[in-house]
């Protein structure tokens, strides 16, 4: 009985040890596709046309030009395939039709493996020989057979750790189908992923050490980085205390609360974006209002400049007229500079004289007006004692004192009004008429200028009122936003309590 117990213990010990050293299935097929029934979820990576033919159950695709495209493996070939390390990737590849257009085969990667988790991509070149109809390929999944296409160590063979990490989170297998410059039709068949020679527990420890644990730490670092970004975002929004408290209680909260925090962070980010857009819009409106005000000010200055130029031109014209009148007065009417002006002055004198004769009381109806006009013209002219344009009535002096003319039939007129008085009255009325016309013109200009100034002031007042209204609306909106944020903070504090 002792022997049996001892023997039984020995057998159990041997069994446990044997179980611990059991090798994972070396050479076992981990995944395969023979395309006997359909495409088995294989896809095309690139601008080709995927099609399954009935000829022996092969996967076909074609292109019409210089295009590099790939057959992409389905999900059963992907995921955690670390036990394929030092195993094989087998497949048959061939061309039913191809045209090279007299050019060599396009150089590119023939097979590519990718891991998005580790941002790593490796590839193999020169696997398929040129001008061969079909090939059986038995590609080793050892790191020495591959080259890093993307990731650390670009251009070199991956390390053992990199190979284990990639196969532990395999996200894509690409088998090249586009090789030639012209039209080609490529087929793929008998694809299989073969397991390598591994001790299971040893391999599991390697996977845990080089893949799961580093990946967990990597995700934790990414999570901390994301949380730090959220803290910075909330701090910028003025909610740093709430954010810190939320992160401190993150582990104690249920998933729904964490989702609520994420949702609040998203809403806060959205509010910040809306606030930035509103501020940008207000700044644009302010700049537009400032630009309109500057344009209005520029137009006002241009109008003032035009008005000054106009006044200057009027003053020059006025000075010129005064100079002509002065020269006319100095010559006594006998030698005027401008014959047209002289003729107009004569006609005006005759008109004023006729009106004066009509108003004059006690004038005989038998008096010939023409004789009276000739007598007035023969009378001496009165000239001003100073050079002003408008001369008061008491500043005229008689230049000469000729003898009174004798006009037949006007003795009664001479008794009432002498020719000198008539001539003086004519000159006086003429000067007053011109002075009145000039004053009317100046009054009209002053009225027009005042109207323009009033219109400009109204425009400026309207622009100022509009700007004040916009500023008041903006302040009101800011106050409402501040009140809303305060209410949200109070609500959050109340919920926290």
Extract the tokens encoding 281.
Answer: 């819009």
Secondary structure letter of residue 143 according to DSSP: G
CATH H superfamily, domain 22-214: Galactose-binding lectin (2.60.120.430)
Give the whole-angstrom CA distance, residue 468 versus residue 15. Answer: 93
Give the whole-angstrom CA distance, residue 426 versus residue 432. Answer: 10
Give the whole-angstrom CA distance, residue 307 versus residue 415. Answer: 55
Average pLDDT over every residue of 385-398: 45
Secondary structure letter of residue 99 according to DSSP: -
pLDDT tier for residue 149 given thresholds of 50, 70 and 90:
very high
* Average pLDDT of every residue of the chain: 74
pLDDT tier for residue 334 given thresholds of 50, 70 and 90:
very low
Give percent of the chain above pLDDT 70: 64
pLDDT tier for residue 153 given thresholds of 50, 70 and 90:
confident
**Cβ proximity of 113 and 135 under 8 Å:** no
Q: Is 189 helix (H, G, I), strand (E, B) or coil?
A: strand
**Length of the chain, in residues:** 497
**Cβ proximity of 145 and 139 under 8 Å:** yes
Q: What pLDDT, on the 0 to 100 scale, is given for residue 201?
A: 72
Q: What pLDDT, on the 0 to 100 scale, is given for residue 422?
A: 60
Average pLDDT over every residue of 304-323: 80
DSSP E strand boundaries for 249-316: none
Give percent of the chain above pLDDT 90: 17
36's CB contacts (< 8 A; 6+ apart) are 57
Residue bearing tokens 């044997």: 18
240's CB contacts (< 8 A; 6+ apart) are 231, 234
Decide if pLDDT at 42 tops 70: yes
Alpha helices in 188-254 (DSSP H): 200-207, 213-236, 240-248
Give the whole-angstrom CA distance, residue 485 versus residue 477. Answer: 12
pLDDT tier for residue 145 given thresholds of 50, 70 and 90:
very high
For 452-475, write each residue's pLDDT tens digit: 888 888 888 888 888 889 888 888
Decide if pLDDT at 175 tops 70: yes
Partner residues linked to 113 by β-bridges: 122, 173
For 99-110, write each residue's pLDDT tens digit: 777 788 889 999
Extract the tokens encoding 438.
Answer: 């000039």
Buried/exposed code over 15-33 (b: 16+ C-beta within 10 A; e: otherwise): eeeeeeeeebeeeeebbeb
Give the DSSP per-residue string, 7-67. HHHHHHHHHHHHHHTPBP-TT-EEEEE--SSS-TT-EEESS-EEEEETTTTEEEEEESSS-
Decide if pLDDT at 51 tops 80: no
Give the whole-angstrom CA distance, residue 293 versus residue 460. Answer: 8
**Cβ proximity of 79 and 121 under 8 Å:** no
Decide if pLDDT at 495 tops 70: yes
- Other C-beta atoms lying within 10 Å of the C-beta of residue 484: 11
Q: What pLDDT, on the 0 to 100 scale, is given for residue 133?
A: 84
Q: What pLDDT, on the 0 to 100 scale, is given for residue 256?
A: 44
Helix (H) or strand (E) holding 81: none
Average pLDDT over every residue of 85-93: 94
């Amino acid at each position: 009985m002792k022997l049996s117990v001892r023997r039984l213990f020995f057998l159990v010990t041997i069994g446990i040890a044997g179980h611990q050293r059991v090798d994972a299935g070396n050479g076992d097929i981990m995944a395969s596709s023979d395309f006997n029934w359909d495409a088995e979820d294989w896809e095309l990576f690139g601008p080709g046309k995927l099609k399954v033919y009935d000829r022996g159950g092969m996967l076909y695709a074609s292109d019409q030009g210089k295009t590099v495209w790939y057959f992409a493996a389905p999900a059963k070939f992907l995921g955690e395939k670390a036990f394929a390390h030092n195993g094989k990737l087998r497949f048959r590849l061939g061309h039913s039709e191809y045209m090279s257009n007299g050019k060599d085969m396009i150089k590119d990667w023939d097979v590519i493996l990718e891991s998005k988790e580790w941002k790593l991509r490796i590839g193999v070149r020169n696997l398929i020989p040129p001008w061969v109809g079909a090939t059986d390929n038995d590609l080793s999944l050892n790191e020495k057979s591959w080259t890093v296409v993307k990731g650390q160590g670009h251009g070199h063979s991956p390390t053992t750790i990199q190979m284990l990490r990639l196969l532990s989170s395999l996200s894509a297998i690409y088998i090249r189908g586009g090789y030639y410059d012209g039209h080609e039709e490529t087929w793929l068949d008998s694809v299989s992923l073969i397991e390598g020679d591994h001790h299971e527990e040893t391999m599991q420890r390697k996977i845990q050490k080089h893949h799961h644990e580093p990946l967990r730490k990597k995700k934790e670092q990414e999570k901390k980085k994301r949380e730090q970004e959220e803290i910075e975002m909330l701090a910028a929004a003025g909610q740093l205390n709430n954010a810190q408290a939320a992160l401190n209680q993150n582990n104690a909260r249920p998933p729904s609360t964490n989702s609520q925090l994420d949702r609040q962070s998203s809403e806060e980010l959205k509010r910040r974006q809306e606030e930035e857009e509103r501020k940008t819009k207000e700044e644009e409106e302010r700049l537009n209002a400032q630009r309109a005000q500057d344009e209005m000010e520029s137009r006002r200055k241009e109008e003032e400049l035009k008005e000054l130029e106009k006044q200057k031109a009027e003053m020059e014209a006025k000075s010129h007229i005064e100079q002509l009148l002065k020269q006319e007065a100095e010559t006594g009417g006998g030698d005027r500079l401008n014959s047209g002006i002289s003729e107009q002055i004569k006609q005006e004198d005759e008109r004023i004289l006729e009106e004066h004769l009509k108003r004059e009381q006690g004038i005989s109806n038998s008096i010939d007006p023409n004789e009276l006009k000739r007598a007035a013209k023969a009378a001496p002219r009165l000239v001003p004692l100073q050079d002003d344009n408008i001369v008061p009535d008491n500043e005229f002096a008689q230049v000469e004192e000729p003898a009174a003319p004798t006009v037949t039939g006007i003795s009664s007129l001479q008794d009432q009004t002498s020719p000198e008085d008539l001539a003086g009255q004519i000159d006086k009325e003429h000067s007053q008429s011109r002075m009145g016309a000039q004053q009317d013109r100046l009054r009209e200009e002053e009225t027009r200028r005042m109207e323009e100034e009033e219109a400009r002031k109204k425009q400026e007042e309207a622009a100022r009122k509009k700007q004040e209204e916009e500023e008041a609306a903006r302040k009101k909106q800011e106050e409402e936003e501040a009140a809303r944020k305060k209410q949200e903070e109070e609500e959050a504090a109340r919920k926290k309590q």
